[in-house]
Structure 1
Amino acid sequence: MATIPTLKENLVIENIRPSIEGGRFMLKREPGDTVTLQADIFRHSHEKYDAAIFYRHVSKKKWEQAPMHFVDNDLWEGSFTVGNIGYYEYKICAWTKEPKDVPTESPVMKLRVDPVYSRVGTWYEMWPKSQGTDPNKSATWKDCEKQLDYIAGLGFDTVYLVPIHPIGVTNRKGANNALHAKVDKKGNPLEPGCPYAVGNKNGGHYDVDPELGTMKDFEHFAKAARAKGLRLALDIALNCSPDHPYVKSHPEWFYHEPDGSIKFAENPPKKYEDIYPFDYYNKNYKALWQEIENIILFWADKGVEIFRIDNPHTKPFPFWEWLIADVKEKRPELVFLAEAFTRPKMMHRLAKSGFDMSYTYFAWRSAKWEFEQYLKELTQSDAKEYMRGIFFPTTPDIFPKYLAYKGANAFKQRYFLAATLSSLTGMYNGYELCENIPSPIKEELADSEKYQYKVHNWSGPGIQDFVRRLNVARQEHVALQEYDNLDFHYAQNDQLMVYSKKSGDDVILCVCNMDMDHVQEGIVELDMAKLGLQNDSFFFLKDIVTGESYVWRGNKNYVKLDPAKAPGHMFVVKKI
């Protein structure tokens, strides 16, 4: 039998947007952002009514109020601005003006305000052991510290470290992913092994590899990085080598074979005998979850602000929802990057579950239509409300075929795209040197530093000046620091991709030659309104890449791009 309601409501509030699965997951913003909400609001009969958004930071008791206004067909809209990082609560209220009645309220929803560096960042991925000069041994933290001026001088703002912990000895991998590392006559390994196999007699996830130095050395490195304006990001690999202390102290945290032995990691048909994965629902799983949070907070206390999580798609979603929420309640300034090159829905769910940033398919996009389709998905669909994509041209695991044996033109083009399409971009050390010899068996560089000692010729030829120019532009132009302000324009030539970013009066217009090897030319047709211009306007263009200047009129103009000169135009647009 239905129950007669006691609440005397006259209005309906429905279809609130943006909303992620009906409020199941939170919107994400950064300080200073405007949150614009829409909702369908109506009531029976003909009385006039009004509506407003009520919002507050969770640290406050008092609600603030922002008015809503009628748009059309029962659609109402309003907005408010968020300030501090952390969580905000908000709801929509509607009421009849005359006669006054009981206001109708929507459910209370939450959004998360993350640090600005969750949306804006220019990362340099450092392999610490490869920062020295001896190809037969590891570099040290002191060697890494010497590289900081070089990195800052290239215009990067974040140093991203691969795992820095002690590396397992049992089943240690050798050069070029050999199943076993070379050993000396006493059986001691002569190769460093893969840093994703964490742990040996010297410690585990709370420790630094003794080959790099001591914890004090790392702390000195972290302090030096901060002094140069560089943030630290750390790769957290939630794996254990067979030698990790957890194997003896907490064997229940791992999967077991029928004979009781601990199970190696597998990605059929591959087996990773140097790694044990955690069982996130073991009989003592709560202790495991808490320990992982303790690891994150430990390194946060050491100066790490951003955590790149290796293969998060192999762990349960409820774990990530709990971990990230709990960490951010304690340390809202911390940021999480999901390293998940997997199926799209999996990547989107990780972002919804709390990750601030996500790796993307950027490295596997090459045609103009692929970029336009993919970037519209990331920056113009509902995904922009919860997912921030970072663009790396290459990684230690990904070296696309189109860069194999290529020269500076190709490397410039891919970094040009990465640096101008997203507000988050990164570069793997050595990319600026155009290292281009591929592995014959995997989609990565030959002689990968993942498995062997390596040195780089940092003063050698490369594209350092080009990288610096783009990175400085990213620092100076607020339009390049926004993520969801990307617009595409039309070009008759499919080898020319035209796009712009606008923030207030700062307007950047890019024309990229998608052909790495040949001159391309054609007419570009601009959506003038997206540039803040009238259809027949004259406007001034200054190319950040080449220093050239032009005056254009109207929406149709001619472009010719030679990859030997520059991969594209990066215009600052000014009204005349």
Structure 2
Amino acid sequence: MPAEAKVPHEGAPVAQAATLNGLAAHGEGRRRVIVERVAPEVDGGRFPIKRGVGEAVVVSCDAFADGHDVLAVVLRFRDAAESAWREVPMRHLGNDRWQASFTPEQVGRSCYTVLAWVDRFATWEHQLHKRVEASQDVRVELLIGADLVAEAAEHAPLVDATTLRGFEQSLRAGDAKAGFVPELAQLMATYLPRRYATTYARELAVTVDRPLARCSAWYELFPRSTATEPGRHGTFRDVIARLPYVAELGFDILYLPPIHPIGRTFRKGKNNSVTAEPAEPGSPWAIGAAEGGHKSILPELGTLEDFHALVQAAKQHGLEVALDIAFQCAPDHPYVTEHPEWFRARPDGTIQYAENPPKKYQDIYPFDFETSDWQGLWQELKSIFDFWIAQGVTVFRVDNPHTKSLRFWEWCIDELKREHPELIFLSEAFTRPKLMYGLAKLGFTQSYTYFTWRISKWELTEYMLELTQGEPREFFGPNFWPNTPDILTPQFYGGQRSVFLTRAALAATLTANWGMYGPVYEQLLHTPVPGREEYIDNEKYEIHHWDLKQPGNISWFIAALNRIRRANPALQSNAGLRFHRVDLDFHESEQIIAYSKATPDLSNLILVVINLDPDKLQRGWVQLPAEEWGLGASYEVQDLLNGVRYTWTSGFNYVELDPATMPLHIFHVLREEEMTHDVGDYV
């Protein structure tokens, strides 16, 4: 190439274009405020948090900017159906942390986010105050403030604009005091444009449930075992006759295992025998026969009209009927012949039955969620919910959801709740923690838990702190059950009455949602299948006849627990839980657990003290934060189980609990204004 030849220089335009593209990627570069670490937020906003109607959502964030300007930060919220945001100012907590709250008032979905900007007027006012204190010449600063006021006046309605113009003239006239008038600050916060405001990168969601979703008491029974005389199959009409009993116990949800036709092929017999006798009814979870499937009713129970009558009668007793949804089929289910592609075929041409080796469930075929017709399967399974919703059911207990497609549940529940936001879904997934929590994030309202296997004081304390103070508190609705038809844990094998009392009390007071499988629990049944955590002569495989007036039952105690729960708002939430030290011979007692629940304003304080030893009297000294609670040097506590009052003092107070009589206290901690009257009815 000749020395004089010149290569066109193209580097500068290319570099300039790259720079401009980089600037564009940053958006409006004059937005100086950074907003981050917004809480609550589940998985970066991927899933909504959960709250009940009227339950506050407390939101916090970090918000900061360069320099020393004053910031304004607001919490924005709206119902999902609304387009306009509502706002509340966020309070500066210190160290660039801000906080505010809002209270959803409608069942459904709400949204929230954070908006922050440099508050030009507040910054000007702050600096003016410092200059005036230093006796500096502020004439120029007053003119700057007057310009800001004039800008705000341009965006205000006539009346407020007139007021602002008056402040503007005062500032231009040199009246520094006008800049500190609270009315001016309020008007400026309202009308001065929020120049270069920063909106948090994500709109966050909250699922807002009705009160029953946040606080409920479930009672499970088998309709076929409700006949008034032995030897007869119970019906829906028999269940209607049982409703007063369930209502008197104080429950608000009556949960029925599957009510559909039961398969005959490979029907299970007594105690899960693989061979059933001709008269044996089979397991209700083996769904489907010639009479129909998931949208049909077992003829022995009655008709669809009888079921409607049950739903209506339950409402008259303050109860809602919950149905079990088990997405599985007996070999006789119509789906098996109509849609064989929905099931997994084995090489020998048979259909794969359910297994959890070494357990085999030959009477159940699971659906294959990897079927080529997965869309048809999803639509049909959703239609099962649609059918029972049309019959008046809004509460569902879902069997083993962790063995079905997670993506299906997210789609199905979202579709259902979009049209029926009042629905409640209880997940029966005794599985790994992350999978259990994942189902809750995907839409399940409540969840069975590991409570059944948490026995010691340490286990109970650690588990409750995880559920109520860790991240799960934002999305996981624990529902504590001391027993189920599938679970009879070893602590009950001895048959001690004290164990039945304490486990029910723990379930009913540690969490706002609890349930029990009756009437086996009231009657203290406790014999397991040898080597298995299951009831012998299990009601899952045979019809029982129950004598509800059996001597020695604890129905009176169950009713007392539910009555105490209804009378005390502190027990209707999972918030406000606190564990307290119990000393014995200068060491922490491992046999007495003490915990309190309180409403946010401390107007309702409940203290529960339980002896976890099923056989021996235990004593100790309970330490309470009396001063923090504003109780003074001495105060009274009243046992809500018997009405007895005790005078306690700040510091440690003595308790003695005998499992032979009553192994627990449920105390109402009385404030001064409550000490002159009783606070409830007692057993």
TM-score for the superposition, normalised by structure 2: 0.81
- Alpha-carbon distance in 2 for matches of 1:401, 1:514: 14
Is 1:276–2:297 an aligned residue pair?
no
**2:496–2:614 Cα contact (<8 Å) kept:** no
Alignment of structure 1 residues 339-378 onto 2, 5 Å: 339-378=428-467
- Alpha-carbon distance in 2 for matches of 1:163, 1:103: 55
The equivalent residue for 1:105 is 199
- Alpha-carbon distance in 2 for matches of 1:264, 1:167: 16
The equivalent residue for 2:534 is 444
Shift of 1:528: 2.9
**2:41–2:204 Cα contact (<8 Å) kept:** no
Shift of 1:328: 0.6
The equivalent residue for 1:146 is 241
* Counterpart selection for 1:203 from 292, 295, 304: 292
Structure 1: 5+ residue runs without aligned partners? 184-189
Is 1:130–2:225 an aligned residue pair?
yes
- Alpha-carbon distance in 1 for matches of 2:463, 2:641: 25
Alignment of structure 1 residues 69-80 onto 2, 5 Å: 69-80=91-102
- The residue matched to 2:22 in structure 1 has which SS? coil
- Alpha-carbon distance in 2 for matches of 1:310, 1:478: 31
Q: Percent identity?
A: 42
- One-letter code of the match for 1:103? A
Q: Quote the RMSD (CA, aligned, Å).
A: 1.4
Shift of 1:433: 1.1
The equivalent residue for 1:523 is 621
- One-letter code of the match for 1:533? G
Is 1:56–2:78 an aligned residue pair?
yes
- One-letter code of the match for 1:51? V
Select the structure with the greater relative contact order (CA < 8 A; seq sep ≥ 6). Answer: 1
- One-letter code of the match for 2:576? N
The equivalent residue for 1:420 is 509
- Alpha-carbon distance in 2 for matches of 1:193, 1:506: 48
* Counterpart selection for 2:67 from 38, 41, 45: 45
More moved, 398-407 vs 319-328: 398-407
Give CA-to-partner distance per residue, 1:203-260, whole Å, 9 cap, x none.
1111111111111111111111111110111111111001111111111111111244
- Alpha-carbon distance in 1 for matches of 2:528, 2:360: 23
Shift of 1:298: 1.4
Shift of 1:470: 1.1
More moved, 476-485 vs 434-443: 434-443
Shift of 1:537: 2.7
Is 1:262–2:351 an aligned residue pair?
yes
**1:197–1:275 Cα contact (<8 Å) kept:** yes
Give CA-to-partner distance per residue, 1:165-212, whole Å, 9 cap, x none.
1100000000000002112xxxxxx11111111000011111111111
Structure with more of its chain in strand, by fraction: 1
Structure with more of its chain in helix, by fraction: 2
The equivalent residue for 1:408 is 497
- One-letter code of the match for 2:249? L
- Alpha-carbon distance in 2 for matches of 1:570, 1:546: 9
The equivalent residue for 2:325 is 236
Runs of 4 or more, structure 1, over 4 Å off, are none
Shift of 1:572: 0.7
Shift of 1:135: 4.4
- The residue matched to 1:433 in structure 2 has which SS? coil
* Counterpart selection for 2:261 from 132, 145, 166: 166
- The residue matched to 2:581 in structure 1 has which SS? strand
Change in CA separation of 1:529 and 1:88 when aligned onto 2, cut-off 3 Å:
farther
Is 1:84–2:106 an aligned residue pair?
yes
The equivalent residue for 2:593 is 497
The equivalent residue for 1:186 is none
**1:422–1:480 Cα contact (<8 Å) kept:** yes
Aligned residues: 568
* Counterpart selection for 1:383 from 466, 472, 494: 472
The equivalent residue for 1:571 is 667
Is 1:326–2:415 an aligned residue pair?
yes
- Alpha-carbon distance in 1 for matches of 2:282, 2:335: 19
Shift of 1:441: 4.1
Give CA-to-partner distance per residue, 1:61-107, whole Å, 9 cap, x none.
22101111211111111111111010111111111122852211112
**1:135–1:453 Cα contact (<8 Å) kept:** no
Structure 2: 5+ residue runs without aligned partners? 1-17, 122-193, 584-588, 673-683
More moved, 404-413 vs 417-426: 404-413
**2:45–2:203 Cα contact (<8 Å) kept:** no
Give CA-to-partner distance per residue, 1:99-157, whole Å, 9 cap, x none.
85221111212111011111101111111111114544421111111100011011111
- Alpha-carbon distance in 2 for matches of 1:522, 1:262: 60
- Alpha-carbon distance in 1 for matches of 2:355, 2:229: 34
- Alpha-carbon distance in 1 for matches of 2:460, 2:511: 12
More moved, 271-280 vs 167-176: 271-280
**1:545–1:566 Cα contact (<8 Å) kept:** no
Give CA-to-partner distance per residue, 1:454-483, whole Å, 9 cap, x none.
111111120011111111111111111111
**1:129–1:140 Cα contact (<8 Å) kept:** yes
Is 1:454–2:541 an aligned residue pair?
no
Larger Rg: 2
Give CA-to-partner distance per residue, 1:529-563, whole Å, 9 cap, x none.
66x235x5311111011221101010210100111
The equivalent residue for 1:187 is none
- Alpha-carbon distance in 2 for matches of 1:213, 1:159: 18
Shift of 1:48: 2.0
